């Protein structure tokens, strides 16, 4: 029996990894344009980093964490998300003293013991952003716009931005009471999970995917009617800011998010193309979190993008990076040609041209097959005939044409390849 990967954890093979690299390079480029700076934290953290911050009744903490005891009996977990890790690092390194308004981003694997299905895995990857140190609604607007800009830079222009305000510690309790009273009336119509949620996390019932729960939720009181004046103004300003940046949105009072740390702004970017797991990104404001985790009072807001879902969308839409330059295959036949060719390909790579060369002494026919297989645009042919004539044959694999250029005229070889 061959050894298999762990259920819900995927290999990313080279064809797909190219898309991942593209996504990651756009992440660095776009986030850099907004002067967000990268932070890297360990994959493994102490259990307490997540236990309190995410909320004891959230499904992640209740049943989805990969937790272990290390050799000294310390409880550790594979991080289920990035926000709490970043807050831990922020507090531990007193980062507020270095940068009173920290704009941070990160990327890497996260782990949740969920039931695997399309778009939902046990190891998945996030690209995340956190801004710590400001309550200004324009910060929310800027980072939402940055996410929108990032998606568009990859060619994805049809995501829906759904946004809501979850209120704050002042106004949410009254809403929660009203919601519980309403939902209790319709308890018999709720699914088993929601009946359980009713006592612990009633807001989550509003985004249950079960049809019968959605019917109940559609008539439920709306948080929008309970927002205090501060929260209402904040939300209005966030929406206005998003508009000012030129991004569009839809207010959806069903966006409640699955983690307890959120206050005020909550949002998701959703798609019609991926079936049930339709959230490509989610985020919101968490003004009490740094304090809750033992740090100073620092407001914060952020989001995370699911990279597997994003890459599925790119594949679905056949979007790929276009400006990689021509791929070249060096077909050298015989030892003398091979030695000469090694120098030539090194020079080509210095010019930024991608080259693969074969070293296993095969004949022209099999070398041409390899060139075809890797999708090379040009095959450079150097055998004893070419060496005798002092030329390099360049075969254009698309046009099915061939030219010979002087072997010592390196710059015309480069020009020919880069012109194609
Ligand atoms: P989240 O909504 O739990 O938020 O996850 C963000 C995104 O990660 C989701 O929209 C989805 O695309 C992806 N995702 C989540 N779980 C899985 C899974 N099992 N398989 C594949 N993709 C998944 C957070 O994690 C927050 N930390 C976001 C945040 C940052 N809020 C403020 N700052």
What does the pLDDT look like over 354-366, one tens digit per residue?
999 999 888 999 9
Q: What is the structure's pLDDT at 332?
A: 96
Mutational test site, ligand 1, from 265, 282, 314, max ligand atoms within 8 Å of CB:
282
Q: Are residues 133 and 229 in contact, defined by beta-carbon separation less than 8 angstroms?
A: no
Which residue minimizes the CA distance to atom 20 of ligand 1? 120
163 Cβ partners below 8 Å, 6+ apart? 144, 238, 239, 242, 249, 250, 251, 252, 255, 265, 266, 267
CA of 380 to the centre of ligand 1 (A): 47
Q: Which atom of ligand 1 is nearest to the CA of 286?
A: 32
Ligand 1 atom closest to 269 (CA): 10
Q: What is the pLDDT of residue 401?
A: 96
Domain boundaries, the chain: 14-171+227-316, 327-418
Give, for ligand 1, the residue of 81, 89, 122, 268 to mutate: max count of ligand atoms closer than 8 Å to Cβ: 81
Options 3.40.630.30, 3.30.930.10, 2.30.130.10, 3.90.550.10; CATH for 14-171+227-316 is 3.30.930.10
The helix-helix angle for 335-350 and 410-419 (nearest 10°) equals 60
Q: How far is the CA of 133 from the centre of ligand 1 (A)?
A: 22
Q: What is the CATH number of domain 327-418?
A: 3.40.50.800
Give me the pLDDT at residue 326, please: 86
pLDDT of residue 420: 55
- For helices 14-33 and 137-153, the axis angle rounded to 10 degrees is 140
Q: Which atom from ligand 1 is nearest to the alpha carbon of 285? A: 32
The predicted model scores a pTM of 0.93
pLDDT for 134 equals 97
- Which residue CA neighbors atom 8 of ligand 1 most closely? 306
pLDDT given for residue 224 in this prediction: 93
For residue 107, report the distance from its CA to the centre of ligand 1, in Å: 12
**Per DSSP, what are the bridge partners of residue 123?**
111
pLDDT of the chain, 420 residues: tens digit per residue: 899 999 999 999 999 999 999 999 999 999 999 999 999 999 999 999 999 899 888 889 889 999 999 999 999 999 999 999 999 999 999 999 999 999 999 999 999 999 999 999 999 999 999 999 999 999 999 999 999 999 999 999 999 999 999 999 999 999 999 999 999 999 999 999 899 888 888 998 988 888 999 999 999 999 999 999 999 999 999 999 999 999 999 999 999 998 889 999 999 999 999 988 899 999 999 999 999 999 999 999 999 999 999 999 999 998 888 767 789 999 999 999 999 999 999 999 999 999 999 998 889 999 999 999 999 999 999 999 999 999 999 999 999 999 999 999 999 999 999 885
Ligand 1 lining (C-beta closer than 6 Å)? 81-83, 112, 114, 119-121, 124, 126, 128, 130, 258, 279-284, 302-304, 306, 308-309
């Amino acid at each position: 029996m061959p050894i298999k990967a762990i259920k819900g954890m995927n290999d990313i093979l080279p064809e797909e990894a190219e898309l991942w690299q593209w996504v990651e390079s756009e992440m660095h480029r776009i986030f850099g344009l907004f002067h967000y700076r990268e932070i890297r934290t360990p994959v493994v953290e102490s259990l307490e980093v997540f236990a309190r911050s995410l909320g004891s009744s959230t499904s992640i903490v209740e049943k989805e964490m990969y937790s272990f005891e290390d050799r000294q009996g310390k409880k550790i977990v594979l991080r289920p998300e990035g926000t709490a890790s970043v807050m831990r690092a922020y507090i531990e390194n007193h980062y507020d003293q270095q940068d009173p308004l920290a704009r941070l981003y990160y990327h890497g694997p996260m782990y949740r013991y969920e039931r695997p299905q399309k778009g939902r895995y046990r190891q998945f990857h996030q690209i995340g952003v956190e801004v710590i140190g400001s309550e200004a609604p324009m910060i929310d607007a800027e980072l939402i716009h940055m996410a929108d800009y990032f998606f568009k830079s990859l060619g994805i222009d049809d995501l829906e931005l759904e946004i809501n305000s979850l209120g704050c510690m002042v106004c949410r309790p009254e809403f929660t009471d009203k919601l519980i009273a309403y939902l209790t009336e319709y308890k018999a119509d709720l699914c088993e999970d929601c009946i359980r949620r009713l006592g612990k996390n009633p807001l989550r019932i509003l985004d249950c995917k079960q049809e019968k729960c959605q019917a109940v939720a559609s008539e439920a009181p709306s948080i929008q009617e309970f927002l205090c004046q501060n929260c209402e103004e904040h939300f209005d300003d966030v929406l206005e800011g998003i508009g000012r940046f030129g991004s569009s949105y839809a207010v959806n009072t069903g966006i409640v998010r699955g983690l307890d740390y959120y206050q005020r702004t909550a949002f998701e970017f959703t798609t019609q193309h991926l079936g049930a797991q339709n959230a490509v990104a989610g985020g919101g404001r968490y003004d009490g979190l740094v304090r809750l985790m033992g740090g100073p009072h620092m407001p914060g807001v952020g989001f995370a993008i699911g990279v597997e879902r994003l890459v599925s969308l790119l594949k679905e839409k056949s979007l790929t990076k276009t400006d990689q330059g021509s791929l070249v295959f060096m077909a050298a036949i015989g030892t003398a040609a091979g030695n000469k060719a090694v120098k030539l390909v090194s020079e080509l790579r210095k010019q930024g041209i991608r080259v693969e060369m074969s070293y296993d002494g095969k004949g022209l026919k099999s070398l041409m097959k390899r060139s075809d297989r890797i999708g090379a645009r040009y095959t450079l042919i150097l055998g004893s005939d070419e060496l005798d004539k002092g030329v390099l044959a360049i075969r254009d694999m698309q046009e099915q044409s061939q030219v010979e250029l002087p072997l010592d005229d390196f710059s015309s070889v480069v020009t020919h390849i880069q012109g194609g």
